[in-house]
Structure 1
């Protein structure tokens, strides 16, 4: 079975948080200028596009990206559709005991060029619920898991207390419910509070 890319493409219209640094790619030097190669340059917030939140993002004593175990971003994922559910609670989920990760599709079509006016959030109750189910990573097709104006970030802290990693802005438009192999590796950025991720899944048959 082929791998399915569930990460947002980076381009100069990729959406990001208001006031945050948008993604840009520019050709800094052309082959005509250098005589040998084209040389590109990017600028971006680490929370643009598909990305993980390191604990340091919301806890000044939490781990930064390079301190996270790379093995914790490779595992068996369960894709679950919870379309048009404003706040996702444990009661909305039926989990497969083989799953290590949980990937939630909350919209019919996830936009990569417009910040959503409304999006599903996660209940803090999911932290202990998912820990009891041996889930170590949760992925969502939204830019964050808490309300956009939250200062307490209750869902982030509840998941961190249960040692569950957070993957945001995935694209599950073409992913049916079921079990998948999953690879969602962050870049090794020293001291960073988050990182872009190239996330892929492959159906388990």
Structure 2
């Protein structure tokens, strides 16, 4: 049995996969998608080239892992923000703020650009499904608010969030953008319990 570098085989695999994704990110940042080859990733990660395909099936799959790396933590943060509030109105505001905070904290702009330009159609579909799972949190809140057209309301609130995320990605001030997004959401939901900002 090969020597493992962690307390269990599972931890060993998780650590190696993280090293491969780290290596892929570094190569992408330095040289773009053209720099992402099996040999370059293996060399950067310090893992034998013939071993890397135990962790993913192709370079396309590795690219998808890079793009989706922050999703679990992002979804967790949004769910926790919603759970910390007690009314649907304040939960809607929490959803908006948490998404923008995650965009500001991570590398969303870079990953989003990579997703648009470099993923295979099937990988883009999987990324889209991850976004849908995030939007479900908003849909639950909107249903509790009793909006007459909940699906349309979710789509418009999410459009506000997406537009504001793009502004944060471009370097706009998080607090300013976040306050604007919450106010726009409050007006859309016509709920005076959502916090006001000047």
Shorter-chain TM-score above 0.5? no
- Report the structure, 1 or 2, having the larger strand content: 1
| TM-score, normalised via structure 1 length | 0.22
Higher relative contact order (CA 8 A, sep 6+): 1
- Report the structure, 1 or 2, having the larger helix content: 2
